[in-house]
Structures are given as C-alpha cells and as structure tokens.
Amino acid sequence: MVDRENILSEISNSLKSLADRHLKPFDKNLLVCAYITKALALYDIKPIVVGGHSVEIYTNGRYTTVDIDFVFNGRDIAIDVLARLGFIQAESKRHYYIEALAVPIEIPDNHLAGSLDKVIKVDINDDLYVYCIGIEDLLLDRLRAALYWKSESSKEWAIQLFELNKEIVDISYLIVTAQQEDTDLLHLVEALIKGGYLK
C-alpha cells in the first residue's frame, strides 16, 4: 500500500527546497508543476497545464509567465493536497502559492477546453513529468484571443508556437475544430498553416 502521507511530506520538502536553488524561472515553474503532478497522481488526479505556462513549455521558455494554470478533475481533493504541500489560498480564492517560491498556481476550470486525447506528457527526469494541453488546442486558444479579444500578442505567439512545433501539429484537427466553431477562426487557422501571416 502506498504511504501517501510520507510521499506528500517528501514532495513538500522538495518544493520548499526549490527556493534555495538558483534556477531559471522556467525551470523552477516546471519543477513546481511536476511535484504537484506527482502528488496528485497519488489520488488518480491528472493536472493539465494550460494558459501561459503551456506556451512557455512549447516555446522552451521563450515566452514567460508568472503563474501556472492547471485544469483537473477532483478539485476538492486537489485543493486539500495543495494545502498539505504547503500552498496557501490567496484572498481571491483562485490562486494558491508557497510564499518563498513566488509561483502562484491558478485553477481556472475543472474541464479542459480541448481534447484530452491531445494532451501530452512532458518528461523532466526519471520520475518527474507534467501533462500539458495539446499544441493544437493551445494554438486555437491563442487564435481565439487574437480574433475575439483583438490580442496582437496572442497572434504573435500563435505564429511562434506553430513555427516551433509544426512537425507535431495535427493540421486536420486544427481545421476541423475551427470549421465546427467559426468561419473567421477557420480563416486564421488557414492563414497560419499557409505561412504564419495573420491579418
């Protein structure tokens, strides 16, 4: 039988020790994600990195963000596990943090806005890994922000994400998903595929 309490205590100590290590913010954030993933795996909860940190992962740290966004099932259990790892809930009730780490965790939703089949596992070392939203759904997210919120930076990051990852992008998934959603989104997807220039 797995000794959850002992493992959670070890993970908590590992998290706290990150504050004393001289790590780049990207590496520190990735390790924080991995330790949280390891802890939640004890409860069969699969946290998926979304938002800015997923852009950071797919661009290997070229994009930078301060917080880490996760979506997962089992929110109540996960919040309890975060507390046992030493995370404190902010007044906003949306963010959790360990003060010494300066890495806020946000849980924007219980459900992934995208396909669970496209989620990737990013190995960090022999026993640490994170789950990340699929590149296709991340591209669609950035293109939606460009289209509906007129976000120029989201447009630029969609181009960079596509260029850096085009060999693994499922083009047919992008097209079919955009077709089902919005003609203007489909036009952006087609422009991205043809050459990265988005009007």
For 1-29, the pLDDT digits (tens) are 679 999 999 999 999 999 999 999 999 99
166 φ, ψ (degrees, to nearest 5): -60, -25
Angstrom distance (rounded) from CA 90 to CA 94: 7
Q: Which CATH number is correct for 4-133, 3.30.460, 3.30.1360, 3.40.50, 3.30.300?
A: 3.30.460
pLDDT of residue 91: 86
Residue 56 or 99, more confident = 56
Q: Where in the chain is the domain with CATH 3.30.460?
A: 4-133
pLDDT of residue 198: 56
What number is the average pLDDT over the span 81-92?
93
131, β-bridge pairs: 48, 121
* First vs last C-alpha separation in the chain: 57
pLDDT of residue 195: 83
pTM over 0.75: yes
What number is the average pLDDT over the span 123-129?
95
pLDDT of residue 1: 66
Residue 75 or 177, more confident = 177
- Of the candidates 42, 90, 49, which has an alpha carbon nearest to the alpha carbon of residue 71? 49
pLDDT of residue 66: 86
- Residue 90, CB-side half-sphere exposure with 13 Å CA sphere: 14
Does the pLDDT of residue 199 top 80, yes or no?
no
pLDDT of residue 101: 92
